[in-house]
Amino acid sequence: MNKLDLIVVGAGPAGILAAGRAAEKSAKVLLLEKMPQAGRKLLITGKGRCNVTNDAEIGKFLKYVKPNGRFLRQAFSEYYSKDILHLLNRYGVETSLERGGRYFPVSNQSSDILNALKKWLNDLNVDIVCKQKVEQLIVENKEIKGVIANGKKFFSDKVILATGGKSYPATGSTGDGYRLSKDIGHSIVRDRPALVAVETAGDIARKLQGLNLKNVKASV
């Protein structure tokens, strides 16, 4: 394969947006995903409805980003919530503003969000290759040169890791980005659980399927 302008590792929401924006700037982009399909975790967000974004102003939003929200101010000034809503609208996805400043697709189907983003990438000629597990970053003389996925080399002097955390292994979030970064010398802050799935013993979870509760506190 000829040298690429950019390789993005991970075809979740972050990877898709990164690849698309680079392609809009005329970059030749390859998007690699280790799972059989892109956006698997996106499909289960918001209880399958996909809470796309929030209507909070940048200053307020940054207060919820820890430990240093100011790090994202420049990025948000270039691309923020209204931009993603405009993009989705261009591809036929209507959104509605709900309680807590949250935006959802009017259809209540997260698949509509993913399909719109994939159409966007297709229009921009971004190559998405699934079932490609990135095993190693290629570094020469302290400079990135590409990646090795499934034993094959892909070359680019720019690589974005958008592999997510370790919260949901079934969707591909197994901490690959931490390992790849550590392998080339980066220091990794110890990861801690945050919003994660709860596993229960017995059949109580199955019996509770279909039960919806709002504003409920639970003690463990």
The answer on 118 and 188 residing in a single domain is yes
The answer on 188 and 126 residing in a single domain is yes
Mean pLDDT of the 114-123 span: 98
- Tens digits of residue pLDDT in 11-55: 999 999 999 999 999 999 999 999 999 999 999 999 899 999 999
Neighbours of 116 (CB within 10 A): 17
Q: What is the pTM of this model?
A: 0.86
The answer on 81 and 21 residing in a single domain is no
In the prediction, which pLDDT does 169 show?
87
Total tally of structural domains belonging to the chain: 2
Neighbours of 76 (CB within 10 A): 17
The answer on 140 and 118 residing in a single domain is yes
Domain-embedded: residue 146: yes
- Tens digits of residue pLDDT in 162-213: 999 888 888 898 999 999 999 999 999 888 877 766 778 899 888 888 888 8
Q: What is the CATH number of the domain that holds 7?
A: 3.50.50.60
**Higher confidence at residue 218 or residue 123?**
123
Domain-embedded: residue 220: no
Domain-embedded: residue 67: yes
The answer on 122 and 154 residing in a single domain is yes
In the prediction, which pLDDT does 193 show?
79
Mean pLDDT of the 64-82 span: 91
Question: Any residues with CB less than 8 A from the CB of 73 and at least 6 apart, and which?
Answer: 58, 62
Residue 215 binned pLDDT confidence (cut-offs 50, 70, 90): confident
**Higher confidence at residue 209 or residue 137?**
137
The answer on 190 and 99 residing in a single domain is no
Mean pLDDT of the 74-95 span: 95
The answer on 44 and 55 residing in a single domain is no
Domain-embedded: residue 148: yes
The answer on 177 and 190 residing in a single domain is yes
Looking at every residue in the chain, the average pLDDT score rounds to: 93
The answer on 60 and 152 residing in a single domain is no
Only one residue has tokens 């996106």, namely 42
The answer on 147 and 56 residing in a single domain is no
Distances (CA, A) of 211 to 48, 54, 82, 205: 15, 26, 33, 10
Q: Residue 173 in contact with residue 21, Cβ under 8 Å?
A: no
Per DSSP, what are the bridge partners of residue 160?
A: 8
Mean pLDDT of the 2-16 span: 94
pLDDT at 1 over 70: no
The answer on 182 and 118 residing in a single domain is yes
Residue 2 binned pLDDT confidence (cut-offs 50, 70, 90): low
The answer on 166 and 178 residing in a single domain is yes
pLDDT at 105 over 90: yes
Domain extent, residue 174, equals 1-48+114-195
In the prediction, which pLDDT does 208 show?
86
